[in-house]
Copies of this chain bind each other. A is one copy, B any other.
Amino acid sequence: MQPALRRAFGVARLTRHHQALPFRASRSGSPPTLLDRWGARTLLDVASGVPLRLVLWDGSTWERTAAPEFTLRIASRHALWRLLRDPDLGFGEGYTDGSIEIDGNVHRLVDAVASALQRTRLPWHRLARRVTHRVGAGLDAARRNARHHYDLGNDFYRLWLDENLVYTCAWFPTPAASLETAQQQKMERVCRKVHLTPGLRVVEAGCGWGALACHMAREHQTTVRAWNVSHEQVVEARRRAAAQGLEGRVTFIEDDWRRIDEPCDVFVSVGMLEHVGPARYAELGAVIDRVLDRGHGRGLLHFIGRDHEAPSSRWTRRYIFPGNYLPTLREVVGRVLEPYGFSVLDVENLRRHYTLTLEHWRDRFERAAPEVTRQLGERFTRMWRYYLAGAHAGFAAGYLQLFQVTFAREGWDSAPWTRPV
């Protein structure tokens, strides 16, 4: 494991836990008290509707349904109460460090729990959901946050993403289409939504490994300037553009979106808004307004969102995406677009396409899991398994959305007469 990775995930520190924790309590802890047993029953109440059996550290068993599909083994009092206090953080940390084990499919369990939580919630979880954490990162923090996730090593992402390393929601013409096809079609559809024509100047904010930037230049003869703060991604994106002979037409800039300053005809951002934070939405709108052509300028924002304001899960923010915030459509329209007089032309919610995308990623990840563990350790594999399971559960249950918002300067008249399917 690379030192940067160890730092990013605090692996040195957590490895200690990892060695110490799993089922240690089952060997040395005191047996469950009356309060622990109340806690176990409460957990089953929260997850009512999920065919679940709990096994506590003394081997005692709790269940509400006959022949439950899932067995959750909780190895310590600490793991039980961490789970009760904050199910998301507690489950994520417990599953990652091995103090929670599952007999059965973790992806299916997380889906089932998420779906049940849509219906019942403990009062303190509802309260927690109301407290919206306003996150917004300074330039340094933004760079750190992005590197935490995207500098994990291209080798890692190559193990389970498609060949073009597209790490955002795909668009499946039919549910049976391959992930490769669906990512190609997603990119082409983005191009059609903003009506790319040869010679246009495109700015892309947050470009990943450059697949969309290369597609826009190669398939639509545009000139693309694509921004990204992740060094590893920019290096790989440049390599890929060069391999396609696109050096003259695609430029990758390793810098923050706030420094975008060149005029453009089209502004595209796919999967970056999640990292911007609501405190910076007005600034993002100002950047777009500053660079976008006043007559025919148009753009597209593609982002994971919500139906109502809520903080991202604490576990996700702590371990996967520091600084992550998923906005509502109202927040993006009201703070990024409306203050600058942009017209919203089209909004599409691709939630179910993201559920399917995540199923592909999950299957590929599980096939690559032995190799991921060899490269990055068991703890990392479990953490990412839980992350992918949680994301899938959110889209499947319906509390995460994927919005594609197409916008333009007021009065832009040159789009095709009807929209893409």
Contacts and interface: CB of A to CB of B under 8 A. Distances in A.
A386 B397 CA distance: 51
Contacts of A398: 343, 410-413
Contacts of A338: 307-308, 328-330
Interface string A330-347: 100110001101111111
Interface stretch (A1-9, A84-92, A348-356): A348-356
- The size class of the interface chain A forms with chain B is 35 or more
| Residue among A307, A338, A348, A417 with the highest chain B CB neighbour number at 10 A | A307
A173 B418 contact: yes
A401 interface: yes
Contacts of A334: 328, 330, 334
Contacts of A401: 343-344
Contacts of A347: 344, 346-347
A342 B418 CA distance: 26
Contacts of A173: 418
B343 A410 contact: no
Interface in A381-404: 397-399, 401, 403
Interface string A345-377: 111110110000000000000000000000000
A343 B352 CA distance: 12
Nearest to A118: B411
A421 interface: yes
Interface in A206-245: none
A341 B403 CA distance: 16
Interface string A103-130: 0000000000000001000000000000
A333 B306 CA distance: 12
A418 to B, nearest CB: 6
Contacts of A399: 410-411
Contacts of A330: 330, 333-334, 338
A410 B307 contact: yes
A117 to B, nearest CB: 12
A16 interface: no
Interface in A65-103: none
Interface of A: 118, 172-175, 307-308, 328-330, 333-334, 338-339, 341-349, 351-352, 397-399, 401, 403, 410-413, 417-421
Given A334-B334, A346-B348, 9 more contacts: A174-B417, A307-B338, A307-B342, A308-B341, A330-B334, A344-B347, A399-B410, A399-B411, A418-B421
Closest 10 CB pairs of A and B: A398-B411, A347-B347, A330-B334, A398-B410, A330-B333, A345-B349, A307-B343, A421-B421, A329-B344, A329-B333
20 contacts: A118-B411, A173-B418, A307-B343, A307-B344, A308-B341, A329-B344, A330-B330, A330-B334, A330-B338, A343-B351, A344-B349, A344-B401, A346-B347, A348-B419, A352-B413, A398-B412, A399-B410, A399-B411, A418-B421, A420-B421
